[in-house]
Amino acid sequence: MSDQGVKVAVRCRPFNQREKDRGAKLIIDMNGAMTTIQNPETPNEEPKKFTFDFSYWSHDGYNEKDDGYLEAQPGSKYSSQRRVFEDLGQGVLDNAFKGFNCSLFAYGQTGSGKSYSMVGYGNNKGIVPITCDELFKAIEAGDKATKYEVTFSMLEIYNEQVRDLLSKDNPKGGLQVRQNPKLGLFYVVGLKKVAVGSYAEIDKRTQEGTANRTVASTNMNATSSRAHTVVTITFDQISKNEAGEETKKSSVINLVDLAGSERADSTGATGDRLKEGANINKSLSALGNVISALADLSGGKKKVMVPYRDSVLTKLLQNALGGNSKTVMIAALSPADINYDETLSTLRYADRAKKIKNKAVVNENPLD
Ligand code: ADP
Ligand code: MG
């Protein structure tokens, strides 16, 4: 068994056009493991300090290559997509091969860089595609006597309803979430789980799923999804042990791009959009409560109820958060003074997640 905390990473993006147009000021700094944030209203006060397992400065210090890839200028502290993959994605891969469940989720306000880190844009591929690509490369190079099986599924949680992104006809009201009586874990009834044999197949399925997402525009970011997107990859390795018996090592990999963490009122939402915002907050505030409860438990507090059942998101992430999983959270930060309140709340959220200790075990069982 491996008793290990949730690993938390923070990443600070460049200014966007809107911030540049408004003459935004930089209020984030990173030095080694330390991230600081300056309250723009009290510039003479000491900035607030946080430390995390990984700190990625991606605000400046990069060159754009001909193919659009952003790479670090020599000597700069800029963290490229490759660098982030090498720390976070490679760890996921290594653990998956060992038979641990793994989860990676991205938290932050809309426009802060969650999808950039997870999925990426153009040639700046994010952790998810690079990890999938490397998974199949490792399988190719792997033990020929081992049988490898990979499946892929993709869902979104929108207004507390689950939609299968690999399915064209989702039932009205969404798919049901049920609890497995034996394992105690929640699962989505009837979710499509497709076998994949190459990175190209995963890529095709991801594009299919992305096209099926619910896209609603808000004032804050016209193209951003207001839903939580969950990609699940199962990875099984079947081989013979020394006694000649077949055994199976299994790993479930959850890759979660969360909806924007901002409060509904800051996006100017009304009507249907407001209801949507309230529900998004329901899932995210439930996630916050689960994180707090788990942090208390890990801190030695007794008799803490972990409220997984309060939202669809926390039901599905139960194992990823407080159970049998090696978990990484990446908190995406805006560099700009105009987002101070949201960025500070993201840093506090990430700081609480750091305190969670999971107990991940290798999933290895004889085949029956
Ligand atoms: P979110 O998914 O949190 O809503 P995005 O990932 O879509 O936000 O990022 C918003 C914008 O910022 C995108 O145009 C993206 O290309 C840019 N961006 C985000 N993170 C980075 C980064 N680390 N380096 C360069 N550009 C980034
Ligand atoms: Mg996004």
Structure tokens at 323: 């159970």
CB 188 within 8 A of CB 156: no
Name the active-site residue from 91, 99, 113, 120: 113
Q: Is the CB of 289 under 6 A from ligand 1?
A: no
| 255 has a pLDDT exceeding 60 | yes
Pairing mode of beta strands 246-257, 102-107: parallel
Mutating to test ligand 1, I would choose from 82, 116, 119, 349 the residue with most ligand atoms within 8 A of its C-beta, which is 116
21: number of Cβ within 10 Å:
9
Confidence of residue 232 (pLDDT cuts 50, 70, 90): very high
CB 132 within 8 A of CB 122: no
Q: Quick one: which of 272, 269, 295, 280 has its CA closest to 348?
A: 295
- Measured CA to CA, the distance from residue 55 to residue 8 in angstroms comes to 9
Give the residue with greater pLDDT, 244 vs 20.
20
Full residue range of the structural domain in which residue 48 is found = 2-366
Confidence of residue 275 (pLDDT cuts 50, 70, 90): low
- Measured CA to CA, the distance from residue 137 to residue 145 in angstroms comes to 16
148: number of Cβ within 10 Å:
18
**Which of 118-122, 218-222, 323-327 shows the highest mean pLDDT?**
118-122
Establish whether 302 is a catalytic residue.
Answer: no
Of the candidate ranges 47-51, 279-283, 317-321, the one whose mean pLDDT is the lowest? 279-283
- CA nearest ligand 1 atom 21, residue: 13
Residue 297 has a pLDDT of 85
| CATH number of the CATH domain containing 65 | 3.40.850.10
Residue 227 has a pLDDT of 85
Establish whether 55 is a catalytic residue.
Answer: no
Question: Could you give the number of structural domains in the chain?
Answer: 1
Burial 94-117 (b: 16+ CB within 10 A, else e): ebbbbbbbbbbbbbbbbbbbbbbb
- State the complex-level ipTM: 0.99
- CA nearest ligand 1 atom 18, residue: 113
66: number of Cβ within 10 Å:
6
